[in-house]
């Protein structure tokens, strides 16, 4: 029996395939040729959907950010700190969902529709507290940088749990007495992410006042 016609490929199919490669083989595997091969396409055919690798990466970033609820975070009836917390937590959650997402979101300028929408919502949150727009924009950058930093630390911790090196763990444990403050606070209670963000927002709030 002759095989039926091959189903058509959409841009969404290509982005999904790129994310599969990202999860399975890492960022280095996400190339026009690599994605094309995974879908049974030629590189030339891929260029009809995305003219460059950068265009593909930007589409992946946009998909990553597309599920963040910007409408709820832009509600003027919600306190500005709560709005910023909601956006920061949503971004952190999205970055945690995909291995390699940190490399992805730092692969180029965040200038797509969803990326700019996230930035707009952050600026709106700070401006709602009376902060001038120029300072609100800088505050938005600071919050994004804080979230990326926390996401990087959490990703490193997850990687350590998934591939533990017993020899390294034993060495660190034997030296624990040399770092008493670190040892005493290893299991400090509370949400460190929210605590740190609150301290950041405290500074912005005082400056706005």
Task: Tell me the pLDDT of the chain averaged across its residues.
Answer: 84
Residue closest to 95 by CA, chosen among 32, 17, 153, 50: 153
pLDDT for 1 equals 38
Q: Which residue numbers in the chain have pLDDT < 70?
A: 1-7, 163-174, 176, 188-190, 207-209
Whole-model pTM: value is: 0.81
Please name each of the domains of the chain with its CATH number. 1-51 (1.10.10.60), 68-208 (1.10.357.10)
Give the burial class of 84: count Cβ atoms within 10 A of its Cβ; 0-12 exposed, 13-18 middle, 19 or more buried.
Answer: buried
pLDDT for 2 equals 41
């Amino acid at each position: 029996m002759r095989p039926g016609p091959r189903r058509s490929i959409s841009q969404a199919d290509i982005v999904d395939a790129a994310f599969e490669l990202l999860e399975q083989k890492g960022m280095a595997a996400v190339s026009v040729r690599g994605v094309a091969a995974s879908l049974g396409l030629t590189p030339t055919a891929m260029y009809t959907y995305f003219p460059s690798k950068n265009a593909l990466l930007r589409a992946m970033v946009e998909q990553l950010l597309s599920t963040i609820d910007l409408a709820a975070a832009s509600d003027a009836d919600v306190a500005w700190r709560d709005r910023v917390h909601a956006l920061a937590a949503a971004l952190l959650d999205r970055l945690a969902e995909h291995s390699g997402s940190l490399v992805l979101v730092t692969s180029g300028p965040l200038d797509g529709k969803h990326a700019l929408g996230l930035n707009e919502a952050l600026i709106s949150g700070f401006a709602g507290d009376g902060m001038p727009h120029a300072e609100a924009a800088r505050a938005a950058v600071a919050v994004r940088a804080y979230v990326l930093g926390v996401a990087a630390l959490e990703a490193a911790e997850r990687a350590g749990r998934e591939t533990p090196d017993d020899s390294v763990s034993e060495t660190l444990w034997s030296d624990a007495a040399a770092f008493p403050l670190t040892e005493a606070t290893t299991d400090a209670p509370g949400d460190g992410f929210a605590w740190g963000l609150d301290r950041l927002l405290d500074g912005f709030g005082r400056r706005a006042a």
